[in-house]
């Protein structure tokens, strides 16, 4: 396999676009949300974002956020846990596509 065939970091981010991710930033803070956009500096836009505690429980609901790329430690795809889905029902957080859309499709609820 030569260099032309290898995936680059931005290619991987592109595959995660419009999907749920966890983003860890310098200082140890973690955020979970839907990756709505990014640029070549790895600045990230997350929608329906939540800050997570060290035990991955929701610390605070943030809505739409911009994460500056030079603070990003990692970006990881994620699936919403069943217990969190049960807690989140009926809250109506955020706008646009998200949790409620997956419920009607017969899929397991994803973020």
Rounded CA separation 110/50 (Å): 14
Rounded CA separation 12/9 (Å): 5
Residue-level pLDDT at 83: 45
Evaluate whether residue 44 is within a structural domain: yes
Residue-level pLDDT at 74: 95
In CATH, what number is assigned to the domain containing residue 86?
Answer: 2.30.30.100
pTM for the model stands at: 0.65
Residues of the chain under the 70 pLDDT cut = 1-4, 79-111
Residue-level pLDDT at 96: 42
Evaluate whether residue 3 is within a structural domain: no
Residue-level pLDDT at 106: 39
Range of the domain at 36: 16-103
Evaluate whether residue 92 is within a structural domain: yes
Residue-level pLDDT at 17: 94
Residue-level pLDDT at 18: 96
């Amino acid at each position: 396999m030569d260099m032309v065939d290898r995936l680059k970091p931005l290619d991987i981010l592109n595959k995660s676009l419009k999907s749920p991710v966890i983003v860890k930033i310098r200082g140890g803070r973690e955020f979970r949300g839907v990756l709505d956009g990014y640029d070549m500096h790895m600045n990230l836009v997350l929608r329906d974002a939540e800050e997570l505690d060290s035990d991955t429980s929701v610390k605070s609901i943030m809505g739409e956020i911009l994460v500056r790329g030079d603070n990003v430690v990692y970006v990881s795809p994620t699936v919403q846990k069943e217990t969190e889905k049960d807690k989140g029902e009926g809250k109506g957080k955020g706008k646009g596509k998200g949790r409620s859309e997956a419920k009607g499709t017969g899929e397991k609820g994803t973020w």
